Amino acid sequence: MLLERWDLNAEASGRNAGGFHVQIQFEPFEVEGEDWARAWAPTIPLLIDAVEHWQGLSGELGVELEVKLTGGVLVAETEEQLAAIERKAAIERGAGLDVELLSRADLRRVAPYLSSALAGGLLCPVEGKANPLLATHAFARAAQQLGARIELRVDLLEIERTPGGFRVETSGGPIECERIVDCAGVAAGRVSALVGVPLPVESWPLQAHVTEAVAPLVRHLVAFAGGRLTVKQAAAGSILIGGGWPSEPDPETGRPAVSLHSLHANLRVARHVVPALAGVRLLRIWTGVCNGTPDHRPILGELEDVPGFFVAAFPFLGFTAAPLMGRLVAELACGRAVPYDLAPFAAARFSAAHVEEPVPADR
């Protein structure tokens, strides 16, 4: 049984930019450094397998999910950025990810639509995209056909441990169950707190931008080492522009609202990297709250002190990881082993540290 307090796809899974990200994200690499990246690297095999998993999903779920492995290019405009990308690539290769360093000439050949001022970059062939507006609903329908119950507009309020498992208070009445999977996105830390383990799941209010549909222009999932940016072109021809720019709270309601500063800055960096975007009209902007963890690693597995309570929280890149995460946590909840070392993803890594109250989400 799935309890959902709003509607399917109402939160991050329906508001993200649909990119498959596998490589180490450049911004945290630059800020946190190589030790952080090496500690994050066990996440890479999960993401590689997640993308492989995506490739069979349109057939398995019977819906064309617009899954495409376009390759991702991280581009640089300075020699310092290129040197950092090279250091990052060494860690990625060590974790089994196939990445190719691109010189200025390589970049012109591989992605001629990018600015000629760029110094080079990195190609990650397994990156790509799918359509998040289709994927969640396709999963939900398939799950229901296999007997899953989906309870919409039901809020999980309290959890009490019982000899047989748990008694859950919800806005729709109590539920007795043997096991719980906490997949509450930005609220995962607050849900785990209900069994006495407040995990430091973060809320990052972001915004994303989409243009009118145009002829094929952007072939890859493009990221930039010189500023926050992701650009990709959807199957319909529209171009999605994002990269982690913050939204800002509406002064009256407190809900995330469009930040004009982020709009301006995101489009400026996008035009800098893909000059032809100057001639494309913006169609829509939306906000969404992204889930994070302090070390960017997922939290996956059963809580040590609360048998029967499982957490599935994949930060920042949760769209890429979701289908595999779902499968893994289902296996774990059924008492079966999974073929990964989950130690780097254990919730227990936070228990000794100071755990802050999770930031309130967007409602």
Contacting range for ligand FAD; rule: CB under 6 A; set: 75-83, 106-114, 158-166, 312-320: 312-320
Q: Does 209 bind ligand FAD (CB under 6 A)?
A: no
Q: Does 11 bind ligand FAD (CB under 6 A)?
A: yes
Q: Does 6 bind ligand FAD (CB under 6 A)?
A: yes
Least Å from the CB of residue 80 to ligand FAD: 26
Q: Which of residues 81-120 bind ligand FAD (CB under 6 A)?
A: none
Look at strands 256-257 and 150-152 and give their pairing.
Answer: unpaired
Least Å from the CB of residue 281 to ligand FAD: 21
Beta strands in the chain (DSSP E): 2-4, 19-20, 72-76, 100-102, 120-124, 128-129, 150-152, 156-162, 165-170, 173-177, 180-182, 202-213, 221-224, 230-233, 238-242, 248-249, 256-257, 282-292, 299-302, 309-313
Q: Does 288 bind ligand FAD (CB under 6 A)?
A: yes
Q: Does 4 bind ligand FAD (CB under 6 A)?
A: yes
Strand-pairing partners, residue 174, are: 169
How far CA 303 is from CA of 83, 300, 306, 324, in Å, comes to: 40, 9, 5, 19
Q: Is 254 left (phi over 0), alpha (psi -120 to 50) or beta?
A: left
Contacting range for ligand FAD; rule: CB under 6 A; set: 4-12, 110-118, 173-181, 336-344: 4-12
Nearer to ligand FAD, 40 or 316 (CB): 316
Q: Does 10 bind ligand FAD (CB under 6 A)?
A: yes
Q: Which long-range contacts (CB under 8 A, 24 or more apart) does 183-187 make?
A: 183/312, 183/313, 183/326, 183/329, 184/156, 185/11, 185/12, 185/13, 185/289, 185/291, 185/313, 185/318, 185/361, 186/11, 186/12, 186/289, 186/290, 186/291, 186/358, 186/361, 186/362, 187/358, 187/361
Q: Which of residues 229-268 bind ligand FAD (CB under 6 A)?
A: 242
Q: Does 184 bind ligand FAD (CB under 6 A)?
A: yes
Nearer to ligand FAD, 108 or 137 (CB): 137
Q: Are 14 and 185 in contact (CB under 8 A)?
A: no
Q: Does 3 bind ligand FAD (CB under 6 A)?
A: yes
Options 86, 155, 304, 357; binder of ligand FAD; rule CB under 6 A: 155
Nearer to ligand FAD, 140 or 317 (CB): 317
Question: Of all residues in this chain, which one has the CB nearest to ligand FAD in the complex?
Answer: 318
Nearer to ligand FAD, 11 or 77 (CB): 11
* Distance of alpha carbon 238 from alpha carbon 339, whole angstroms: 38
Q: Does 201 bind ligand FAD (CB under 6 A)?
A: no
Contacting range for ligand FAD; rule: CB under 6 A; set: 110-118, 266-274, 287-295, 332-340: 287-295
- Residue for token digits 């509450």? 184
Options 107, 138, 159, 187; binder of ligand FAD; rule CB under 6 A: 187
- Binding residues for ligand FAD, rule: CB under 6 A, are 3-6, 10-13, 15-19, 21, 155-156, 183-185, 187, 191, 206, 208, 242, 288-291, 314, 316-320, 322
